[in-house]
Amino acid sequence: MLLNGSQIFVEVLCEQGVDTIFGYPGGAVLNLYDELYKNSDRITHILTAHEQGASHAADGYARATGRTGVVLATSGPGATNLVTGIATAYMDSIPMVAFTGNVGTSLLGRDSFQEAYIEGITMPITKHNFTVRRVEDLADTMRAAFRIAQSGRKGPVLVDIPKDVTANKCEFTHQQPEQIRTVTTFDEERVAQAAEIINGAQRPLIYFGGGVRSAASCQPLRDLVHKAGIPATYTLMAAGVVPYGDPLNLGMIGMHGCYTANRAVNEADVVIAIGTRFSDRVALKPSTFAKKATIIQIDIDPSEIGKNVDIDLSIVGDAAYILRAMLPMIEPAQHDEWMALIHDWQSHDYHPKSDPSRLMPHQVIGEVCSQCGPEAVYVTDVGQHQMWAAQYLRHAKSRGFITSGGLGTMGFGYGAAIGAQMALGRDQRVVMFTGDGSFHMNLNEACTAVSYELPIITVIFNNQVLGMVRQWQTSFYGKRYSQTDPHRKTDYVKLAEGFGLKGYHCETLAEFQAAFAEALTRKGPTWIECVIDKDEKVLPMIPAGGDINDIIMD
């Protein structure tokens, strides 16, 4: 059939199973938006306050579901406003397709009004990107974008579409979505070698990351943990994969990980690293990281093998398929002496002391968990509140904790919460934790939550400073607090009312308990401001470049 580019755009989105798209209109994409209007019964478009919010929403949608998030922006500043969101998705291997409009093909390269070379700008932060110069290439390019986003190590893809391509016509033929080629192959001999090493270990440890969540299934990892009786620790990106309360779950590892997890990796004789890249927030001192251990690394991306830490055995492939093949070779074990050591270390883990005279982060987070139950989905911005959430949330879902890890994007949270809420439906509870610093960056997306009546509860830890940077200034810069006290006078309750939502101000745990209980009953979004001390710290902490011997516990 003969269709124009905008019609082809919508048809391919529907082919790919897209039901929701986030974006912001503009001149270069008017044809696309006109066609989306005509097909609003097939695709829901969510209008955000800013293109960056739209990109984070598409990201949050993908993290909550595993499906590809989709965002659409106009040319020039619309396209460049997506850059931070695309980079956030790239660093955390999140499947996303970003569509941008551009000036007509005859105007490309002429510094035309609202022209930007977005293909070149995003080349380092995408798996692949395209500029479509002929309408005949549009459908197959879009199909390739969705395939690439989900294949192998997942990530964002950008498709730039000049305006005349959206108006020109060509013959179009519907196609069934191409089956994503899952990486099911791996070196079977190496799998057998890994199983032999694991079976002979006295002090084994599993250290896993976000790649496990992206794999075909998380269950084989849980099966390995329990069959082999191996304690497990995880990175920020993998919180919730092994449920909170599992006796073999040691908690998070790394700079703000628990003492036991960091001590265990230091004392283990075998470390099985699965879907993780030994980032500088985990292997803070690569020369001493797990130096007593034989290190086995399992990752889908061969470029990550041995990149940051020297390893002894590598297996490239999808972690789920590799572990399924390995499990029959694994001998059941319990490692009683090793677990006794770990239990002794756990008595030294950091536990914050409650102070009835003030509101404290661990109290707030504990109360949220108690009132929400195990099915809630938690989203964070970036900063101290993010680490407190990772430390104190009681997750029970593998996709129940959504945060920006690799890029550490302040302002990520509200857009991501909107995307997660749209993906999961209004009956699913989404709670966002933020700090006053992060929240000021993209709080404009409150209008989006109000417009769509999304019941997102936002918990704002307000210490009136840029807390994480100030903590570093306290510990390492002689308390020279350069530009970490913004002296802001924001009244969150009044501001919430101005946006059309309900705001609460809390200074005690009792006030928070009542406010959160009421927020759970409301149809639309709410904010709950929690006033905390500006000197509240994230502990424990291992300084950059340090190891377990440098850990700060008080």
**Residue 200: C-alpha distances to residues 154, 203, 228 (Å):** 34, 9, 11
Helix (H, G, I), strand (E, B) or coil at 414: helix
| Tokens linked to 399 | 């996709």
Measured torsion, CA atoms of residues 419, 422, 424, 430, in degrees rounded to the nearest 10: 60
Tell me which residues are annotated as active site: 51, 113-114, 163, 468
Helix/strand/coil for 146:
helix
Q: Is 306 exposed, middle or buried (0-12, 13-18, 19+ CB in 10 A)?
A: middle
| CA dihedral for 459, 465, 466, 468, sign (positive or negative) | negative
**Helix (H), strand (E), coil (C) string for 188-215:** HHHHHHHHHHHHCCCCEEEEECHHHHHC
| CB half-sphere exposure, 263, CA atoms < 13 A | 18
| Greatest pairwise CA separation for the chain in angstroms | 72
Query: DSSP string spanning 528-543?
Result: EEEE--TT----SB--
- The neighbouring-strand residues paired with 433 are 380, 459
The residue count for the chain: 554
Distance CA 263, CA 290 (A): 10
Tell me the Cα Rg of the chain. 24
